[in-house]
Amino acid sequence: MTPPRQRSRATTDAEIAELRTRILRHASALIGRDGIDGCSISAVAHAAGCSLGMIQHHFGTRDGLLLATIEFRSDAAVSEWRRLQAAAPDPIAALRALLAFAVEGDESLADAWGFWVQAYVAAPRNPDVRDAVERTLREWRALFVDTIAAARDAGLIPATVDPERAATMLIAATDGLAIQANGGFYGTDADHMRATLNELATQLLSLDPAKEPA
């Protein structure tokens, strides 16, 4: 008897990875647009063009899908930042790239920050979401601290600069400006947010704009 043909595992793995990514991208978009409460398994299944059972098979519950989406967004952001960091000629250029990415990366400010603002709002009500967001924020903060410390160690900023304190202030400004820009408050938009963050970095780190590349 001829044994039954088996599907290629590589093809199956590739299809599974593509499906998971598609689901997580649509879940992310729904959260940014409708909030976490609007991100039901049925809504995601409809948007992603797959069955409810397929989502439940890969992610279990709605909370499992939500946590996987936060991890997906976090991993994508850190990977993109690492790419930008590797391409930067020095730590100051890397910091400028990080600040630019904090405003808009591959996504618009509304799409990127729409998601994270909703995650922040949900965190106090859901301990698992809070833990997932906190892990992301710790990694995000470490990017600032490490980059500023590298700039100080390279003699590009004064030795008196405290990377922890500078990172705290820059992240506080980033989050606050993002909420303002996402809501259209105070006339804040992406360009205003970007200019304000760069000006704050210049002041905090005692940078000389005349010595930076145009």
pLDDT at 9 over 80: no
Q: What is the pTM of this model?
A: 0.83
CATH superfamily of the 9-211 domain: Tetracycline Repressor, domain 2 (1.10.357.10)
Mean pLDDT of the chain: 89
Torsion of CA 170, 176, 178, 183, to 10 degrees: -170
Whether residue 94 is predicted with pLDDT greater than 80 in this model: the reply is yes
Residue 4 reports pLDDT greater than 60: no
Residue 149 has pLDDT above 90, yes or no: yes
Q: Where are the domains of the chain?
A: 9-211
pLDDT, position 29: 93
Asked if 50 and 42 count as a contact pair (C-beta separation under 8 A), the reply is: no
Which of 10-24, 34-48, 77-91 is least confident? 10-24
Number of Cβ within a 10 Å radius of residue 197: 21
Nearest CA-CA partner of 200 in 142, 148, 159: 148
pLDDT of residue 10: 41
Q: How confident is the model at residue 86 (pLDDT cuts 50, 70, 90)?
A: confident
